[in-house]
């Protein structure tokens, strides 16, 4: 009960439902109306039949008396004047009204349910995406993107079925079945008992066959899921497929899975065929049974012919609600499974993932760029700190390199500065103000970031650059590309700035992608520049071009660059050397080399890869010429 109450109060789905209560009530009213009409429907028929049986001569003598014209005239007279066939018009009119009202209610119910379903799906998708996109990167590293996508697209849509089946069963099917039972019992208790016997027969036949059909369909979907992953993988890794000559194997694999899927499809089709044939047969046999017992009841004088018609009509109307009830369990299971998968994601908000904006957060003023880490301790898992009691001060306009062993916490420092995470202890300030006081947007928009992966989206070059500054003009985009040294290669592309880039920037070289990222950073015109391995993986000449562009970008902005390529930062104002989350050395390149500590060893290790930059040689020639990032 407690769990249910907590679900009721906290569930995102229930909240979405509550926001649609007006429309849901509307759909429920339509269903209630339909239930009443289904129960009413046989009564005019009963009235007509009993009237005919009681008052009409059905010996057959009069059949030849009327010609067609006389028949039409007599009917019209009956309609306009007092006549014994008035009852016919009255009841047929009533039936017509029932059918029209039923059609109208069905139409209203369908459009209302479609609207509610779509609103709920939209609401869930929006909230879920919003929730997930704010998760830290580590979450996506651990999750399967395909699974997350499926939860946002399919599971949110499956919850629609839940609402529809609950409403249908509670408001239409069960009340219809109960209504029919009550009415038939008030008419003829004995006959109604035989009538009651057929309900479990229809229910069980339906349940058994739907289960088997569902199982076959589920198996088919599973095989198709594997098939689509294989196809997706083959297309995504097409280059590897060609290089490893995997085409024939893949064709065989896809054909085999396709064959399995087709087999399951045929099996499901067979069950569906058996299901509908069995349902038709059950319906026929139960109708015969009801007819047989009904005629006996008439012969015994316990029932009128009209009442028998009511029973037969109700029997006909019983099949649909029973079918709906028997399908309910499986629909409910499917929808609740989808809902659980959605709620599971919403519940993923451990404290360490939360970077909340203070209620009193304000727009940060334009930064000068004085950054300080005050006794910062942080761990992705707080019990295992990555940074320990870290103190760093970076003056406005200073260029600082963060170097050190792999895993020493360099990139984490940048992430804390961008507030992707908050320190477990200590504080980070910019221009003397705790960064938690600023609104996240005003903080992050004052940082230009260039990472080793340039994150090129599937859109035009122009749009790819302009995302750094919403509303940027074409002139601004071109100026940023020029400053980043990207303009020349862009102009050589077939559609220049309008060239649509492939997924992940396919079609561009690593250096070109990096320059697009720098163009974005230029456009942002931020006082703080954060660079995380911006030249990794580039050849010497491309690296030089990228470093030249970066030198223009950093200008007199506060710059923090994380790198393992020490020769790119030799002329930085300061190099901070980290080891196991602590600052172990700090100073200029030459001084650090002279200390012969960790930096010296890292430098040496780097030089063994590139003999041109031996420490001695560097000390001799001076760093100034090596790095284009010289002020």
Q: Are 209 and 332 in contact (CB under 8 A)?
A: no
Residues 546-565 that bind ligand ATP (CB under 6 A): 562
Is the four-CA dihedral 119, 120, 121, 124 of positive or negative sign?
A: positive
Q: Is 140 in the site for ligand ATP (CB under 6 A)?
A: no
Compute the least distance from the CB of residue 536 to ligand ATP, in Å: 10
Tell me the two tokens of residue 156: 């949110």
Q: Are 135 and 420 in contact (CB under 8 A)?
A: no
Please, what is the Cα angle at 41 between 39 and 42, to 5 degrees?
Answer: 95
Residue among 192, 386, 468, 531 that touches ligand ATP (CB under 6 A)? 386
Q: Is 257 in the site for ligand ATP (CB under 6 A)?
A: no
Nearer to ligand ATP by C-beta: 394 or 576?
Answer: 576
Number of residue whose CB is nearest ligand ATP = 138
Residues 365-384 that bind ligand ATP (CB under 6 A): 380
Stretch of residues binding ligand ATP (CB under 6 A), selected from 108-116, 122-130, 351-359, 408-416: 408-416
Report how many residues bind ligand ATP under the rule CB under 6 A. Answer: 13
Q: Is 411 in the site for ligand ATP (CB under 6 A)?
A: yes
Nearer to ligand ATP by C-beta: 168 or 412?
Answer: 412
Q: Are 160 and 167 in contact (CB under 8 A)?
A: no
- As a whole number of angstroms, the longest Cα–Cα distance in the chain is 130
Site string for ligand ATP, 93-132 (x = CB under 6 A): ----------------------------------------
Compute the least distance from the CB of residue 578 to ligand ATP, in Å: 7
Other residues' Cβ atoms within 10 Å of the Cβ of residue 231:
15
* Closest C-alpha to 386, from 356, 418, 352, 435: 352
Q: Is 409 in the site for ligand ATP (CB under 6 A)?
A: yes
Nearer to ligand ATP by C-beta: 465 or 560?
Answer: 560
Residue among 112, 286, 304, 412 that touches ligand ATP (CB under 6 A)? 412
Stretch of residues binding ligand ATP (CB under 6 A), selected from 81-89, 182-190, 405-413, 430-438: 405-413
Nearer to ligand ATP by C-beta: 187 or 578?
Answer: 578
399 by DSSP, 3-state: which? strand
Tell me the two tokens of residue 462: 């122009």
CA distance 367 to 422: 20
The DSSP call for residue 374 is E
Q: How many helices and strands, by DSSP H and E, does the chain display?
A: 24, 10
CA distance 601 to 408: 15
Instruction: Give the burial string for 300-331 (b: 16+ CB within 10 Å, else e).
Output: eeebbebbbbbbbbbbebbbebbbbbbbbebb
Stretch of residues binding ligand ATP (CB under 6 A), selected from 342-350, 401-409, 504-512, 549-557: 401-409
CA distance 80 to 518: 88
Residue among 34, 112, 156, 408 that touches ligand ATP (CB under 6 A)? 408
Compute the least distance from the CB of residue 170 to ligand ATP, in Å: 46
452 by DSSP, 3-state: which? coil
Q: Looking up tokens 């980290």, which residue turns up?
A: 578
CA distance 528 to 148: 34
Nearer to ligand ATP by C-beta: 123 or 532?
Answer: 532
Burial of 125 (0-12, 13-18, 19+ CB in 10 A): middle
Nearer to ligand ATP by C-beta: 546 or 562?
Answer: 562
Residue among 406, 541, 608, 611 that touches ligand ATP (CB under 6 A)? 406
Residue among 126, 137, 222, 238 that touches ligand ATP (CB under 6 A)? 137
Compute the least distance from the CB of residue 445 to ligand ATP, in Å: 23
Stretch of residues binding ligand ATP (CB under 6 A), selected from 183-191, 407-415, 596-604, 611-619: 407-415
Nearer to ligand ATP by C-beta: 533 or 543?
Answer: 533
Q: Is 416 in the site for ligand ATP (CB under 6 A)?
A: no
Which stretches of the chain bind ligand ATP, using CB under 6 A?
Answer: 136-138, 380, 386, 406-412, 562
């Amino acid at each position: 009960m407690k769990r249910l109450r907590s679900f009721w109060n906290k569930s995102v789905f229930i909240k979405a439902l509550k926001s649609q209560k007006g429309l849901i009530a509307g759909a429920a009213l339509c269903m209630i109306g339909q239930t009443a009409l289904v129960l009413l429907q046989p009564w005019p028929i009963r009235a007509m039949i009993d009237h005919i049986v009681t008052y009409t001569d059905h010996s057959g003598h009069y059949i030849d008396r009327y010609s067609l014209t006389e028949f039409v005239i007599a009917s019209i007279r009956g309609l306009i004047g007092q006549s014994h066939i008035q009852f016919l018009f009255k009841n047929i009119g009533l039936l017509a009204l029932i059918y029209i009202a039923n059609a109208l209610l069905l139409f209203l119910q369908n459009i209302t349910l479609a609207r509610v379903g779509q609103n709920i799906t939209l609401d869930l998708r929006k909230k879920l995406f919003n929730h997930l996109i704010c998760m830290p990167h580590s979450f996506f590293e651990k999750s399967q993107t395909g699974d997350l996508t499926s939860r946002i697209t399919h599971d949110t849509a499956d919850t629609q079925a839940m609402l529809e089946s609950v409403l249908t069963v509670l408001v239409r099917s069960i009340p219809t079945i109960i209504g029919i039972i009550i009415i038939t019992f008030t008419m003829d208790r004995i006959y109604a008992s035989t009538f009651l016997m057929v309900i479990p027969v229809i229910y069980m036949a339906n349940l058994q066959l739907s289960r088997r059909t569902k199982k076959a369909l589920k198996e088919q979907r599973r095989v198709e899921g594997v098939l689509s992953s294989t196809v997706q993988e083959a297309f995504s890794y097409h280059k590897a497929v060609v290089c490893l000559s995997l085409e024939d194997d893949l064709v065989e694999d896809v054909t085999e899975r396709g064959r399995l899927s087709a087999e399951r499809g045929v099996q499901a089709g067979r069950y569906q065929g058996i299901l509908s044939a069995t349902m038709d047969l059950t319906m026929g046999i139960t109708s015969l049974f009801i007819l047989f017992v009904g005629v006996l009841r008439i012969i015994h004088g316990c029932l009128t012919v009209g009442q028998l018609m009511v029973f037969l009509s109700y029997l006909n109307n019983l099949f649909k609600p029973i079918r709906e009830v028997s399908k309910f369990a499986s629909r409910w299971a499917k929808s609740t499974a989808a809902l659980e998968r959605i709620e599971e994601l919403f519940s993923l908000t451990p404290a360490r993932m939360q970077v909340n904006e203070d209620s009193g957060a304000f727009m940060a003023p334009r930064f000068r760029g004085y950054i300080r880490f005050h006794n910062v301790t942080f761990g992705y898992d707080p019990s295992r700190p990555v940074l320990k009691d870290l103190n760093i001060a970076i003056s406005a306009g200073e260029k600082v390199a963060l170097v050190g062993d792999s895993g020493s916490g360099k990139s984490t420092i940048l992430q804390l500065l961008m507030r992707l995470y908050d320190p477990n202890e200590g504080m980070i300030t910019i221009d003397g103000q705790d960064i938690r006081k600023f609104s996240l947007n005003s903080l992050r928009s004052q940082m230009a970031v260039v990472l080793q992966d340039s994150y090129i989206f599937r859109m035009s070059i122009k749009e790819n650059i302009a995302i750094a500054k919403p509303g940027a003009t074409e002139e601004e985009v071109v100026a940023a590309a020029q400053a980043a040294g990207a303009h020349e290669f862009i102009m050589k592309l077939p559609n220049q700035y309008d060239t649509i880039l492939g997924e992940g920037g396919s079609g561009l070289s690593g250096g070109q992608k990096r320059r697009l990222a720098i163009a974005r950073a230029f456009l942002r015109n931020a006082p703080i520049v954060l660079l995380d391995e911006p030249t990794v993986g580039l050849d010497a000449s491309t690296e030089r071009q990228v470093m030249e562009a970066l030198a223009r970008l950093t200008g007199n902005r506060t710059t923090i660059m994380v790198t393992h390529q020490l020769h790119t930062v030799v002329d930085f104002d300061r190099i901070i050397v980290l080891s196991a989350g602590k600052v172990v050395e700090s100073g200029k390149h030459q001084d650090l080399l002279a200390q012969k500590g960790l930096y010296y060893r890292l430098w040496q290790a780097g030089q063994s890869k590139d003999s041109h930059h031996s420490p001695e040689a560097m000390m001799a020639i001076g760093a100034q010429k090596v790095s284009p990032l010289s002020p």
